[in-house]
Structure 1
Amino acid sequence: MNYRSGTHAFLHGAHTASPFTTGVIPFGLIAGVSAAGMGMSLTSSMGMTLLFYSGSAQIAVLQLMQNGALPVTMVVTALVINLRFLMYSASLAPHLHHLPRSKTWPMSYLLADQVFALFSLRSACGDLGRYAFHYYTGAALTMWLGWNLAVLTGVILGARIPEAWSLGFAIPLSFLALLIPSIRNAATLCAAVAGGALAVLAVDLPYNLGMLTASLGGVLVGLTVEHLRKDHGSEHNNDAEQEAT
């Protein structure tokens, strides 16, 4: 698709991202309702939402707060959950590294799973060109606005949301929606299996350390498998070269 201007690219980014906002609405409502149910004020709830801008990490920390976890556990858990954004940033850097920091810093704050997927797809097609920043901004601001409005609605409505809506079931569904597409090779599969198994085995650990244990365990297993896979691939290539000579 050829963009006529930066405004055209911005509006197209917003348009392509808008359907994905429906997927974060139940998640945001749960975050807002949970915060209100814990007695957090509107200012505190929205301040946390603006500071985090990470649904999975925010939900996890709210659960840890409710269970009386140690502050260090909350911080480390949020950092581990958000490690994927380092990989996202490294993948986006070749397309955006030429931009000044006045643009890349806000872009890093607005980065989300859906935005990364949309931008990567457009970049792979070679459609963005000099309008990459405009497309990214349109998509990212749309997702950011949808998430914050959903949380705000949840905080305001609080316990008035009917239980029949079963919003609590949206949390595991949302995590599954993020998990399943990310399982693309042996490393990610082993990380998911190890993390799930550790979460079940460590569910009774004090201060809700089970979630942190499962997160760290999954990451370590995934990194180990990926390292072994690369070593095996290198050995196979060396053997093939020796046979060829």
Structure 2
Amino acid sequence: MNPKLNTMFKGAQHSTPLIVASMPFGIIYGALAQSVGLSHWAIIAMSVFVFAGSSQFIAIGLIAAGANVGIIIVTTLFVNIRHMLYAATLLPHVKRFSQKVRIPMAFLLTDETFAVSSHYLQKHPNSPNFAWYYFGSALFMYSNWILCTFIGVYLSQTVPNMSDWGLDVAMAVAFLGIVVPSLHNKPTLMCALVAASLSIVTYHWPNKTGLLFSALCGIAVALVIEKYQNNIPAPEVAK
């Protein structure tokens, strides 16, 4: 097989466990979105042009609550701020690519694709075929998300009370699978602990603002700890 296509296939293959875990999430999104009154085309268009699972869920929740457009836009924007951190991490590896390549890479960036791509770069930091690996993961995730949205819309018309099944728990499991392997040092561990603790305390904050606050506090703690560790002088070696 062509080396580029082989690398692309590996990207899709390595993403399969995370994609399988996210499938119920896409299906339940299609069902829930219809329950708040969105048309079939609006539901599908959101998956095609927005392609951000957590933001799509938050958006339909705010629509159901009667929130205005401004609040919906600002809230979903803040929820997706983490993608700026993902992009900053990947930038040294993609800056050699043309803008025509980087633009679709930016649009297709998800938690799952970032997770598998980061792991791939740890083993192959100078891979000339990284873009192929990335698109193998991202396009598989994108097509799966759209397909599951279609399935959710269809099933919501034929299966009663589907939105009450609790299928969205699968995404929580998928996120745990992404986050836990990344907790390999003190800054990342404290970031997760602070964010998790504060998210419980701020659970009832309006418009999911507690999630944003918790995430920012976790990031701030991690940055402070990392800066402190970097400023500690290395011990002198006895001569």
TM-score, scaled relative to structure 2: 0.84
Q: Does 1:39 align with 2:43?
A: no
- For residues 126 and 213 of structure 2, what CA distance do their matches in structure 1 show? 38
Q: Which amino acid aligns with 2:133?
A: Y
- Residue 152 (structure 1) shift: 1.1
Map Cα deviations across residues 81-121 of structure 1 (whole Å, 9 max, x no partner): 21111111111111111000001100111111111111111
| Residue of structure 2 equivalent to 1:192 | 196
Aligned length: 230
Distance 2:200 2:105 in 1: 32
Q: 1:178 aligns with which of 171, 175, 193?
A: 175
SS of 2:168's equivalent? helix
TM-score, normalised by the number of residues in structure 1: 0.83
Question: In the aligned structure 2, how far is the partner of 1:231 from the partner of 1:128?
Answer: 27
Q: Percent of aligned positions with the same letter in both sequences?
A: 26
Query: SS in structure 2 opposite 1:237?
Result: coil
Give the gaps of 5 or more residues in structure 1. 203-208
- 2:47 is aligned to 49
The separation in 1 between residues aligned to 2:16 and 2:226, in whole angstroms, is 38
2:10 corresponds in structure 1 to: 12
Describe the superposition over 1:129-169 as per-residue Cα deviations: whole angstroms up to 9, x where unpaired: 21111111111101100011000111122242354x77642
How many angstroms apart in 2 are the aligned matches of 1:44 and 1:73?
19
Specify which structure has the higher proportion of helix. 1
In the alignment, structure 2 segments of 5+ residues that lack a partner are 184-188
CA distance in 2, matches of 1:86, 1:12: 25
Match of 1:237 in 2: 233
Contact 1:80 1:215 in 2 (8 A): no
Equivalent residues of 2:115, 2:178 under 8 A apart: no
> What corresponds to 1:216 in structure 2?
212
Structure 2 residue aligned with 1:158: 156
Q: Which amino acid aligns with 2:190?
A: A
